[in-house]
Structure 1
């Protein structure tokens, strides 16, 4: 008999102890858990403008003290967290979102962590906070279409450690490799275990293609992929995953990088996002027999905004050392089925299938009914580890809404379908080649992002100014003329994201 209770195998100790899903956590639940488990410490967590997870520590002193923190949150200096917050009026509130509570897996003392939202002096959600921008983008999409966007991220990263002479790594041969040829599998399995215990919805983890040895160090690529969930939680999970991977790597005395490019000629690290559109629990991208027109319209929205989306998904100069032809990273603005050279890929989605594969693999089994048919997603392959994930997903949600509302988007998408190597085709629009170009494309389409009050104009201005200040407009030419050393760039942006 199959287990149907979604709580039965939950690895989240809060879910197990409280007997309810995280979305139903209340203040009383958290106080009860802290009391019964004798938790002495509490951390409020929030994402700053640099995309990293911040921390405010509390020693719990009484039930009343805990109740006040859970209810009221605390003050923080917003100007130290966000460029768009003025130092002359910088106080913000951070208020816990109880459904995000988890046990911190890395502290010596038992500690409960809770992600927070930002609120302004009047108690309203901070309009310029990336989490609020994403929330407004989702609300605008739902108000206009009745649908919500779900996403799953693929997080690629490199680990650095002294070279191992036993079973040495083979360059560019790491994909799904197992130990002992694959190194540091314990990093990804420990990270996987921590993430699911924290309530994250993770699909799997594996070794990736990138393997090489340089200067006596082995450089090993790995990946963690998530399951589809609401875009707001998908963004939070990506930030948590980076923090967890860094903590695990640090515990083993090795370094990790999410930088988009580590070395010329070696595989770069992407942060791809798959999405699907949901209405009343039904995937609008497929009905079990190929992509729907709804999916194609959303693809059209992504393609028509692909260049400006790089402003949020590719935010450092080395991003554009990864986005070069013939390296399984997209450069042309197009889409296709199962095609890793395109910008938007439609992966296999278990469509038009019955139980024949299962029964062939398991001859003693009888027929299986009720196979899920909602697995189809579409994947945006341009973003990398420098991405501001909340702003990126907000931009993708805006693009999806425009794709659904603009009657020209279906034809726009159909005209940009390719079946071969996209980098070998001529006549296709191209992604930007620098942060400066990305900023220009963002400013050119700012009206779409600012519509319905989703992106504040001040954020668009400050974000474009930050990209332009990187001064990389002629970076590729300067590298070709050896005026810029790639190694120096890699070192400068090794710990992005």
Structure 2
């Protein structure tokens, strides 16, 4: 039974709130820079939230609206309801729902809502007859906290790629994180220690692109919260320690037709990729510099995107090695055919990053772009002359160059919408300018007593 205008899905959430003794709801949304925000309301407000939304002051959120346009409305998505795992042992439980943001003056979806930007990309795909699946591989570091609870960069382990305890002392933390994620509906595919000391990866199974973007935000929240219970600090900063590998978020993408067939698969192609896949891939390569501003949005991101640390900086694709920007992973079955963009890092706003990847690929399909030949050699070993011979460009070298590329790429800039694109560019130009005028410890150590 449903009451009023409440749907069956919403009623199921109301029933679960009562059955599980949930006292508080965190209504979550994401600002332009990818920070998860939430408005907490008593659980008894859930039905009102479904029927009317919950109002909040949007002027306090980075890049949202001006003071005179401040009233915004959160509309929760009942499909995203989940009980927070770190609250279950207390007397009362808390749960969260991810929300869409609406403009109260017009009643329309707010153009500055990153979730709306991704929905727009999915609408474009739908009009072209496709559904989009995505699967990210977010990496993170676990660091010890000091006696005051502040983060250090001490890892507490000497583990390496796929190491097991006792070297991997954080395996208990990973285990509890996985339990927490599974309790919230995640299907965990694998977890392991990564290459660098203190670095970890937990992979969850692919899903539709919107659910995947929702999951990335949830993933980061859960990892941080459960790590804190172990007196550890989890960070998704791309390069927290110099001269070792940084953290990436390789992202796998595929298109499916309305009848459920993988539009990227072609058994007769040398690489088992369809013409659609080749054009999608070509579109992502074409727009890679602009995508980089969104997928690698911090000054620190470009400390990871340097040759020599397994980060992909060369605009090429391969079906065999990981030195190229895009890889075509081996697929055991046709449904698993996909492309993997290896440049994104986990500091990005997942809604915006996945949205611009989709738009770039769809633009490639619409234009009928042809992908270049794959590069099967190790591009890391190429010198500049050989890269020029192969026609291989490099990604922007810093945040300033990436923002320039974004502003020059009409397709990607317009895909974000004027509101988000202009606010994003403004914020990132300011960040880069602040970085340029700062003086680092490296400079002091090198020059202070020398000159």
TM bucket by the smaller chain?
A: 0.7 to 0.9
Distance apart, 1:25 and its partner CA: 5.8
Structure 2 regions of 5+ residues with no counterpart?
2-6, 147-155, 447-451
- Distance in 2 between the 1:140 and 1:250 partners? 40
- Distance in 2 between the 1:162 and 1:68 partners? 41
Distance apart, 1:420 and its partner CA: 1.1
User: Which residue of structure 2 aligns with residue 124 of structure 1?
Assistant: 108
Match among 188, 192, 196 for residue 210 of structure 1: 196
Match among 327, 330, 338 for residue 345 of structure 1: 327
For residues 302-359 of structure 1, give each alpha carbon's deviation from its aligned partner in whole angstroms, at most 9, with x where no partner exists. 1001100011111111111111112210111001013111100111211xxxxxxxxx
2:174 is equivalent to residue 188 of structure 1: yes
User: Which residue of structure 1 aligns with residue 40 of structure 2?
Assistant: 57
Q: Structure 1 residues 449 and 230, CA, compared in 2 at 3 Å: closer, same or farther? A: farther
- Distance in 1 between the 2:262 and 2:78 partners? 28
For residues 166-190 of structure 1, give each alpha carbon's deviation from its aligned partner in whole angstroms, at most 9, with x where no partner exists. xx844xx611111112121122222
- Distance in 2 between the 1:484 and 1:436 partners? 24
User: Which residue of structure 1 aligns with residue 372 of structure 2?
Assistant: 414
2:239 is equivalent to residue 239 of structure 1: no
Distance apart, 1:448 and its partner CA: 4.5
Q: Structure 1 residues 242 and 32, CA, compared in 2 at 3 Å: closer, same or farther? A: same
- Distance in 1 between the 2:33 and 2:360 partners? 23
Structure 1 regions of 5+ residues with no counterpart?
1-17, 19-23, 212-219, 351-371, 487-497
User: Which residue of structure 2 aligns with residue 441 of structure 1?
Assistant: 405
Q: Give the 3-state SS of the residue equivalent to 2:75 in structure 1.
A: strand
User: Which residue of structure 1 aligns with residue 335 of structure 2?
Assistant: 374
Q: Structure 1 residues 377 and 77, CA, compared in 2 at 3 Å: closer, same or farther? A: same
Asked whether the 8 Å contact 2:145–2:233 carries over to 1, the reply is: no
For residues 140-165 of structure 1, give each alpha carbon's deviation from its aligned partner in whole angstroms, at most 9, with x where no partner exists. 1221x2012211111100111389xx
Asked whether the 8 Å contact 1:288–1:374 carries over to 2, the reply is: no
Asked whether the 8 Å contact 2:177–2:223 carries over to 1, the reply is: yes
Q: How many residues align?
A: 417
- Distance in 2 between the 1:75 and 1:86 partners? 16
For residues 342-399 of structure 1, give each alpha carbon's deviation from its aligned partner in whole angstroms, at most 9, with x where no partner exists. 100111211xxxxxxxxxxxxxxxxxxxxx5311221111111221211111101110
Q: Structure 1 residues 458 and 53, CA, compared in 2 at 3 Å: closer, same or farther? A: closer
Q: Structure 1 residues 162 and 35, CA, compared in 2 at 3 Å: closer, same or farther? A: closer
2:28 is equivalent to residue 45 of structure 1: yes
Distance apart, 1:201 and its partner CA: 3.7
Distance apart, 1:436 and its partner CA: 0.6
- Distance in 2 between the 1:93 and 1:162 partners? 38
Match among 393, 399, 407 for residue 354 of structure 2: 393
Instruction: State the 4+ residue runs in structure 1 displaced beyond 6 angstroms.
Output: none
User: Which residue of structure 1 aligns with residue 153 of structure 2?
Assistant: none
TM-score when normalising by structure 2:
0.86
TM-score when normalising by structure 1:
0.79
Distance apart, 1:473 and its partner CA: 10
Asked whether the 8 Å contact 2:31–2:63 carries over to 1, the reply is: no
User: Which residue of structure 1 aligns with residue 185 of structure 2?
Assistant: 199
Asked whether the 8 Å contact 1:437–1:473 carries over to 2, the reply is: no
Match among 313, 316, 325 for residue 334 of structure 1: 316
Match among 268, 288, 307 for residue 246 of structure 2: 268
Q: Spell out the pairing of 1:56-455 with structure 2 (5 A cutoff).
A: 56-61=39-44, 65-107=45-87, 108=90, 109-121=92-104, 122-143=106-127, 145-161=128-144, 169-170=157-158, 174-211=160-197, 220-279=198-257, 280-288=259-267, 290-350=272-332, 372-407=333-368, 409-410=369-370, 413-415=371-373, 417-423=374-380, 424=382, 425-427=386-388, 428-450=392-414, 454-455=415-416
- Distance in 2 between the 1:243 and 1:293 partners? 39
- Distance in 2 between the 1:262 and 1:485 partners? 19
User: Which residue of structure 2 aligns with residue 362 of structure 1?
Assistant: none
Q: Give the 3-state SS of the residue equivalent to 2:245 in structure 1.
A: coil
- Distance in 1 between the 2:118 and 2:433 partners? 28
- Distance in 1 between the 2:21 and 2:418 partners? 47
| The 10-residue stretch of structure 1 (83-92 or 236-245) with the greater mean CA deviation from structure 2 | 83-92
- Distance in 1 between the 2:157 and 2:267 partners? 41
User: Which residue of structure 1 aligns with residue 151 of structure 2?
Assistant: none
Q: Give the 3-state SS of the residue equivalent to 2:298 in structure 1.
A: coil
For residues 198-249 of structure 1, give each alpha carbon's deviation from its aligned partner in whole angstroms, at most 9, with x where no partner exists. 12343222111111xxxxxxxx110011222111111110010000000011
Q: Give the 3-state SS of the residue equivalent to 1:343 in structure 2.
A: strand
Asked whether the 8 Å contact 1:435–1:473 carries over to 2, the reply is: no
User: Which residue of structure 1 aligns with residue 421 of structure 2?
Assistant: 460
Q: Give the 3-state SS of the residue equivalent to 2:432 in structure 1.
A: coil
| The 10-residue stretch of structure 1 (88-97 or 28-37) with the greater mean CA deviation from structure 2 | 28-37
- Distance in 2 between the 1:442 and 1:334 partners? 19
| The 10-residue stretch of structure 1 (36-45 or 336-345) with the greater mean CA deviation from structure 2 | 36-45
| The 10-residue stretch of structure 1 (457-466 or 249-258) with the greater mean CA deviation from structure 2 | 457-466
| The 10-residue stretch of structure 1 (289-298 or 380-389) with the greater mean CA deviation from structure 2 | 289-298
| The 10-residue stretch of structure 1 (86-95 or 197-206) with the greater mean CA deviation from structure 2 | 197-206
User: Which residue of structure 2 aligns with residue 34 of structure 1?
Assistant: 17
